[in-house]
Amino acid sequence: MPRAPEPIGFVDRLMQLPLFMIVFGVASLSMLVPAVFSGLTRELETGRAFLYSSLLGSILFVLIALAHAGRMPRHGALGPLMSLFSTFVFLPIVLAIPFFEALKTTTFLNAYIEMVSAITTTGATLFDDPERLNGPLHLWRAQVGWMGGLVMWIAASAILAPLNLGGFEVTARAEPGRRIAGVGRVGQPEGRARLVRVIATIFPIYTGLTLLLWVLLWLCGETSLVAICHAMSIMATSGISPVGGMDAASAGIAGEMVMFLFMFFALSRLTFSSDTVTSESGGLRHDPEFRIGIALVIGVPTLLFVRHWLGAFDVEAQASLLEAVIAFWGATFTVMSFLSTTGFASASWSEAQSWSGLATPGLILMGLSLIGGGVATTAGGVKLLRVFALYRNGTREMERLVHPSSVSGADPLARRLQKNGAFIAWIFFMLFAISLAAITMVLAALGVSFDEALVLSISSLSTTGPLLEWAADTPIRLSELGPWAKSVIAAAMVIGRLETLAIIALLTPDLWRG
């Protein structure tokens, strides 16, 4: 007798849904967190907005899940990438509904852009006064940013790595947008199994680290709400704060030191996982991303620190040892924060500015944000691995000037890159530069001054929203821009989060048949 088919479990049925619908269902259930918090803080009207939105979203999810029961998703290799794109473009519409209904003093466009900024881990806000939002709304902003970071951690292994995108194209053996041989699509059984395995591995680590940071910040004297929001913002590199940054935080330097340690997870994926092809580099000690990141975190503050005595030839400079230590720490924390595209400026950053005597320190912060963190992390920017590929190519060309017949490849760090890795990294850098120039010109055409347009473009493409506060001479207020300029910035946030190569892959019909 033929064997009866094995019953399909709940997880298998759930994974048969399009990925975007799974994210939509999880986001709807997550609205219960601020709803419960609103009840505890007696913000009942806010709680009702989140509760009703959660019920509405959950009902829609169940109805769509029933309609898709027994149907396998029919899409090409780039279908999961389209789901990721939809998460950053269309999901914020759903996330903005409870925010808009609870606040009632803003437009839906502003609420939508606020959610796009949060889920892309950019962290730019239209509400410059933290007092305008109550505790549950601050929690929701940080929670959306945290979920966006979790999506990127999972997507790196389950979607971007198999398609050789998101920085993996520098090390992969296939073309960007093409699947690695032997790796199944997410819609196929082996692809769904990979996705489940990645979620089961990454989610406990991500959640556990967030809870640990929350407890440590609370022990440092931070209030519970601020501690959890800052913990989620550090893990997601979103830079979202319910008190406007570190100046108003209660944890002090001890809290900054704890946050500094957790920012290392944005420098290299090898700090927390070995589930991708990047694990072939020989461990964290030999990881070029981590080494370049450490060099920048030590080198840039040291240069700012030494400049104090270089400037002392022209300006009389006297300072105590304690002032010197505080200034050096302020520079170190801020450099690490903007390199990881988190964007928290140390409470001692003003002392660091005064110590170095730089008139425009914002240029340094923008440069660090453009470099960005590690591949397959929540950090944005060009990424350290691409910078390493361009550096290796430059040193190799100089070696060939001296020894034209030399053979490369002996360096174990160089073996991490594929033969055309530097070429692909250069293509991405050019696409990034073209995107930056295009967005700057569009914003300037919409009436934004050139200086502000440049800062807005860099902030959006590098997903470092706090640059608006620290990069320019005066803080840039998104709320003062027109609706078209806000829409352009929202589009730039999505491009910066998903990256230009992934957008091009989505627009290439031939790759959909791959």
**DSSP codes, 305-371:** HHHHHHGGGTS-----HHHHHHHHHHHHHHHHHHHTT--PPPTTHHHHHHHHT-S-THHHHHHHHHH
Task: Report the C-alpha gap between 26 and 23 in whole angstroms.
Answer: 5
Q: What is the pLDDT of residue 262?
A: 95
Task: Report the C-alpha gap between 184 and 151 in whole angstroms.
Answer: 20
Burial of 336: CB neighbours in 10 Å, binned 0-12, 13-18, 19+ = buried
The count of other CB atoms within 10 Å of the CB of residue 231 is 26
Q: In the 8-state DSSP scheme, what is residue 131? A: G
pLDDT at 409 over 60: no
Q: Are 417 and 306 in contact (CB under 8 A)?
A: no
Sign of CA dihedral 264, 465, 149, 346: positive
Q: Are 111 and 144 in contact (CB under 8 A)?
A: no
Task: Report the C-alpha gap between 124 and 439 in whole angstroms.
Answer: 17
Q: What is the pLDDT of residue 5?
A: 46
- Please choose, from the candidates 142, 112, 147, the residue with its C-alpha nearest in 3D space to the C-alpha of residue 37: 142
Task: Report the C-alpha gap between 349 and 332 in whole angstroms.
Answer: 9
> What φ, ψ does residue 254 adopt, rounded to 5°?
-60, -45
Those residues whose C-beta lies under 8 Å from the C-beta of residue 420, and which sit 6 or more positions away, are: none
Those residues whose C-beta lies under 8 Å from the C-beta of residue 131, and which sit 6 or more positions away, are: none
pLDDT at 318 over 60: no
Average pLDDT of span 81-107:
93
Instruction: Read off the tokens for 2.
Output: 């033929």
For every residue of 234-271, DSSP letters joined together read: HHHT----TTSSGGG-SSHHHHHHHHHHHGGGGT-GGG
- Better-scored residue on pLDDT, 448 or 277: 448
Instruction: Read off the tokens for 436.
Output: 């930056």
Question: Would the pTM count as exceeding 0.85?
Answer: yes
pLDDT at 281 over 80: no
Average pLDDT, the chain: 84
Task: Report the C-alpha gap between 341 and 462 in whole angstroms.
Answer: 7
pLDDT at 307 over 60: yes
Amino acid at 273: S
DSSP E strand boundaries for 352-481: none
> What φ, ψ does residue 43 adopt, rounded to 5°?
-90, 70
- Better-scored residue on pLDDT, 158 or 484: 484
Those residues whose C-beta lies under 8 Å from the C-beta of residue 310, and which sit 6 or more positions away, are: none
Residue with tokens 């903007």: 338
Torsion of CA 202, 368, 452, 145, to 10 degrees: 10
Q: What is the pLDDT of residue 351?
A: 84
* Domain locations in the chain as residue ranges: 10-199
Average pLDDT of span 289-310:
86
Q: In the 8-state DSSP scheme, what is residue 450? A: H
Q: Are 137 and 95 in contact (CB under 8 A)?
A: no
Task: Report the C-alpha gap between 416 and 330 in whole angstroms.
Answer: 34
Instruction: Read off the tokens for 87.
Output: 């998460």
Q: How many CA atoms lie within 13 A of 114 on its CB side?
A: 28
Average pLDDT of span 73-96:
84
Rounded (10°) angle between helices 421-445 and 483-498: 170
- Give the pLDDT band (50/70/90) at residue 313: very low
Task: Report the C-alpha gap between 231 and 242 in whole angstroms.
Answer: 12
